[in-house]
Amino acid sequence: MYVLFARLASDVANPHLHVGGNLIHGVHILIGVGIGVVVLLPLGIIMYRKSKRRHSAVTSLVRGQIRREQLKSDIILNAIEDGVLVVDENHTIQLFNPGAATLTGWSIDEAVGVDVFSVMRLVDDKNVEYGKEQNPLFRVYGEKKALHDNHATLVSRSQKRIPISLSVSPLISVDGKVSGAVGIFRDSSAERNEEQRRAEFISTASHEMRTPVAAIEGYLALALNPNVSHIDSKAKEFLEKAHASTQHLGKLFQDLLTSAKAEDGRLSNHPMIIEMSSFLEQLVDGLRFAAEKKGLKLEFVVGDNAATIDATGGSKVIKPLYYVQVDPDRIREVVVNLFDNAVKYTDAGKVSIGVTGDNQVVQLRISDTGVGIPPEDIPHLFQKFYRVDNSATRTVGGSGLGLFICRKIVELYNGRIWVESELNKGTTFYINLPRVNNQAAQQIQTKEVAQAPVLPVSAVPGS
Ligand code: ADP
């Protein structure tokens, strides 16, 4: 470049002088460089200034955009009634919006920098403080997925109880770790009151309707009893149909009552220590007739498939002890419900009831070789009134409440129920219940016996 300018400068200085010594050549070069500097420097400065101006224009544009976006999210966060908070990996609150401040009674300045569990105190519907394993704001770090809780109650700073619905989503960093979480919560008092009113109406109505239905069923049974009434075969046929329908109606009212109670926590529940394999063995004995009536085999399996005990009671095996703390009436309801479904939706083959477990859980399973459940229906199966729409359910009566009630009961004991199924092959329902180890079970049993009310001598049976 400089050489070019030197050449140009020399031409400009003396276009005709192309001969001469080194001095002349040196002078030419100096002039060239001088002109180059004079022309280039301002040009460079102009270009540099321009690019600086362009750069600062871009920077301020980006800054402006960021500020605008920040302003937008600030406006949203400040305007919404819902409480929003962001916590870091140490459960420390980093962001707390005015909605969260109103609901919790903690000001933004007070809450930011504080442990989230001091600010977001949660209790259940029995006013028992949430343990960490129950609290979505803690569980989200382990489970790494969005969690929802519609049953929590927030204890505000002034000890006010506010029913809330809470959603917590993890903030996952590039290395796959949970680096924080976003919690959104709102006052759900209105919905809960509405739910309660609805549940109360259903439970009162079904309770009132059960009584006349039971009376009708009783009279129909009398009419069908040959020792009491004499009716012709045509009338018998009609009355049998009426009797079956009344029984179905009675079951529907009973299910409605149970589900309403399960929803508002009024389900009677007297948990005690029971040993699951002997409990089920007895239960299976009572169920065998219903399975055989339909031509189905009923099998009872203890442990890992190896120890199959035929329900007819053949071989004897040493069974492990699977202790759980549940209300036996409630768990019986669950097993009978699942067994009834297995029989209802199976035309041939067998129904199998099993129990197994590890250190943590006792697992029950009820499987059949029936029609199976389409995969798209499985996520909705435990919802209220959900029934699979197929020929099997169209011909077989039901309310769609059975599995909902099962789920509610299992959840009462911090258990889990789920299903695996293959169309036209069969279905298996699994229930996991927290296991009580043998030693703890015996201690609790001793306490249960000591706390049992002592009957007066005159009230002791046989006395
Ligand atoms: P229902 O009174 O209709 O049986 P449930 O809540 O007990 O109500 O069951 C819901 C639906 O799940 C049923 O309508 C049926 O379609 C399906 N289902 C439940 N158990 C089984 C099973 N063992 N095999 C096939 N389908 C089943």
Closest atom of ligand 1 relative to the 400 alpha carbon: 8
Burial class of residue 449 (count of CB atoms within 10 Å of its CB; 0-12, 13-18, 19+): exposed
Question: What is the distance between the alpha carbons of residues 441 and 171, in angstroms, rounded to a whole number?
Answer: 41
DSSP state letters, 4-29: HHHHHHHHHH-SS-----HHHHHHHH
In short, whether 120's Cβ falls inside 6 Å of ligand 1 is no
Question: What is the distance between the alpha carbons of residues 251 and 112, in angstroms, rounded to a whole number?
Answer: 54
In short, whether 402's Cβ falls inside 6 Å of ligand 1 is yes
- Joined together, the tokens standing for residue 366 give 């009820």
In short, whether 381's Cβ falls inside 6 Å of ligand 1 is yes
In short, whether 427's Cβ falls inside 6 Å of ligand 1 is yes
Burial class of residue 9 (count of CB atoms within 10 Å of its CB; 0-12, 13-18, 19+): buried
The answer to whether 174 touches 71, Cβ cutoff 8 Å, is: no
CA of 117 to the centre of ligand 1 (A): 41
Question: What is the distance between the alpha carbons of residues 385 and 401, in angstroms, rounded to a whole number?
Answer: 5
CA of 400 to the centre of ligand 1 (A): 7
CA of 152 to the centre of ligand 1 (A): 30
The answer to whether 166 touches 134, Cβ cutoff 8 Å, is: no
In short, whether 426's Cβ falls inside 6 Å of ligand 1 is no
- Joined together, the tokens standing for residue 79 give 């305007």
CA of 387 to the centre of ligand 1 (A): 6
Question: What is the distance between the alpha carbons of residues 377 and 393, in angstroms, rounded to a whole number?
Answer: 13
User: Residue 70 has what pLDDT?
Assistant: 79
CA of 249 to the centre of ligand 1 (A): 17
In short, whether 250's Cβ falls inside 6 Å of ligand 1 is no
Question: What is the distance between the alpha carbons of residues 157 and 149, in angstroms, rounded to a whole number?
Answer: 21
The answer to whether 366 touches 351, Cβ cutoff 8 Å, is: yes
Half-sphere exposure of residue 280: CA atoms within 13 angstroms, side-chain side: 30
What is the model's pTM?
A: 0.64
Element (H, E) at 42: helix 22-79
Cα separations in angstroms, 237 against 232, 233, 244, 453: 9, 6, 11, 51
In short, whether 255's Cβ falls inside 6 Å of ligand 1 is no
**One-letter amino acid of 347:** D
Closest atom of ligand 1 relative to the 403 alpha carbon: 6
Q: Are strands 272-275 and 93-96 parallel, antiparallel or unpaired?
A: unpaired
Sign of CA dihedral 251, 253, 256, 261: negative
339: phi then psi, degrees, rounded to nearest 5 = -65, -45
In short, whether 345's Cβ falls inside 6 Å of ligand 1 is yes
For atom 21 of ligand 1, the residue with the nearest CA is: 341
CA of 401 to the centre of ligand 1 (A): 9
- Joined together, the tokens standing for residue 147 give 């969690």
CA of 240 to the centre of ligand 1 (A): 25
Start-end of H helices in 113-232: 116-119, 136-143, 189-224
pLDDT along the chain (463 residues), means of 10: 41 40 46 53 66 69 78 86 95 96 96 96 90 91 92 94 96 91 96 86 87 93 92 93 92 88 84 94 93 94 63 56 94 96 95 94 96 94 88 72 94 94 96 93 86 60 42
- Joined together, the tokens standing for residue 210 give 């059960």
In short, whether 428's Cβ falls inside 6 Å of ligand 1 is no
Look at the block and give the residue holding tokens 């009344």.
246
In short, whether 267's Cβ falls inside 6 Å of ligand 1 is no
- Joined together, the tokens standing for residue 438 give 């043998």
User: Looking at the DSSP assignment, which residues form a beta bridge with residue 308?
Assistant: 301
User: Looking at the DSSP assignment, which residues form a beta bridge with residue 164?
Assistant: 187
**By C-alpha distance, which of 107, 109, 112 is closest to 157?**
107
The answer to whether 130 touches 116, Cβ cutoff 8 Å, is: no
In short, whether 388's Cβ falls inside 6 Å of ligand 1 is yes
In short, whether 351's Cβ falls inside 6 Å of ligand 1 is no
